[in-house]
Structure 1
């Protein structure tokens, strides 16, 4: 078993011995001079030997301090070197977890601009609809849908999650003017999605009880939107993700009503890691991108 004195006191001694001055040691360590004096006294009491002589308003190393100082400095250099590679590897890779929908409909299309702005950093996108364990250390940060208020996590709201039916212009033309009740009889994409019943009830439609009727079931909004573009039916989509396709005439919104269930997309990171440089840089870039692409209603 190692018989080490308090490492916080050893760190103070090393800085004071290197500078030969308590004031400069305090400035380096972000401490008061009184705190430096206290830590040195604590270490001297633990060792049973003085390390500094008080000479007027200054200090000088004793013989014991002269012997210990260089060895302690070399030990701290070795510790710094041991963790330098770990720091470099940690700072060189950013792992972002997000859902398939957010990745495929928005983030993957724009992540290249962040990479170009930070060419020394590798970025890995972990796309999964399973909730990432941010405490495990395999993922640095996440973008998830929810209501916020997660203990231990710093969260920034990115955008509210709303939804409305969308179709291809060809589908809309072939079916003519639609009423919300018509959706009970039209082919729906992912009819099991609870957004359907929520939107229909808000539109005043009496939704039949029982299991949803058969239809194409897809695992993400990104796939549902492309199925709608292909004319396979009506998809319930978030306008923000598809606004370019709406403008370009690939999709159309048959109704003005846009509903929400109080969910939003959030950028989340453990409170203890929110100021890690690579995470801070990504967060700042992400928030700037979201402001620049603030949702604008588009009707088709």
Structure 2
């Protein structure tokens, strides 16, 4: 069984050893000289060794005291550094990791609203498509696309992924009107390289639309949804995009939806954080703000969202 360290006595001992005086140590620690003397006597009794030689106006470390003083000083310095490092995280930026496409096309255009509400909260957006270890990489919030359940993390459902066909008004004028999904054979289909197994694609949408005269495999492929949407904006074809990624372009008219049919998926965007950090004020504010933005965009159907700490 590990012996419990007498931390209070060791702190008093370190001050006495540094000053060479019980009186000076008492003044630094804001306790009485008698209290200092009692702590040192108790420590000597516990260790069964004399730590100081006492004189009228000063004290001097014994050989054992000198040995202990070195270790205690180093130990307290290490403890202080650890505490300072953790404390400094309170004032550090709120680090948010998010997929490149969602960052560029949904999160970043809305961040001004969060910053206007909470001007004292500094946010660092780390766009990455690679998995992150929230603890090792010092990530406060992760927004991730997947099916869950993300065991060991605090999990909040942000919104489901729904795919919609989109193209530019210029392409629609050139190759339209598209009266039946088979009319897409007249233009180019833009594809994403699937990042998640069984992620829906053009073949699924065309089958649901009853389009049997369109080759679902033809057309260029892109490693990032952002690139396929940029291609659609440049009149290069029709993209099958996550609704959240194109909602602003549809509102502005930069993109149009040639067919009303949408394709629900089994994927969703999730807000993840470490359970022990979930109720930190800035993380809680950011999570609530994300949900509010999703509801405002009509991506989250209900304000009654559930958050869970997975075991």
Could you tell me the TM-score, scaled by structure 1's length?
0.67
Q: Which residue in the other structure is 2:177 paired with? A: 176
Give the superposition deviation at 1:230.
1.7
Q: Structure 1 residues 261, 296: CA separation in 2 closer, same or farther (over 3 Å shift)?
A: closer
Aligned CA RMSD, in angstroms, stands at 3.6
C-alpha distance in 2 between matches for 1:233 and 1:291 = 30
Unaligned runs of 5+ in 1: 14-60, 70-74
Q: Which residue in the other structure is 1:195 paired with? A: 201
Q: Which residue in the other structure is 1:256 paired with? A: 260
Deviation digits for residues 96-155 of structure 1, max 9, x if unmatched? 111011101111112233234444443211111112122313322210111121110111
C-alpha distance in 2 between matches for 1:269 and 1:119 = 22
Q: Which residue in the other structure is 2:217 paired with? A: 212
Mapped contact 1:92–1:120 kept (Cα < 8 A): no
Q: Structure 1 residues 184, 271: CA separation in 2 closer, same or farther (over 3 Å shift)?
A: farther
For the residue of structure 1 that corresponds to 2:237, the secondary structure is coil
Q: Structure 1 residues 116, 87: CA separation in 2 closer, same or farther (over 3 Å shift)?
A: farther
Q: Structure 1 residues 296, 273: CA separation in 2 closer, same or farther (over 3 Å shift)?
A: closer
C-alpha distance in 2 between matches for 1:274 and 1:155 = 9
Q: Which residue in the other structure is 2:84 paired with? A: 84
Q: Which residue in the other structure is 1:164 paired with? A: 164
Deviation digits for residues 28-61 of structure 1, max 9, x if unmatched? xxxxxxxxxxxxxxxxxxxxxxxxxxxxxxxxx9
Mapped contact 1:91–1:278 kept (Cα < 8 A): no
Mapped contact 1:141–1:269 kept (Cα < 8 A): yes
Give the superposition deviation at 1:257.
0.8
Give aligned pairs, total.
241
Mapped contact 1:96–1:124 kept (Cα < 8 A): yes
Between 1:134-143 and 1:92-101, the stretch displaced more is 134-143
Q: Which residue in the other structure is 1:284 paired with? A: 288
Within-5 A mapping of 1:106-121? 106-121=106-121
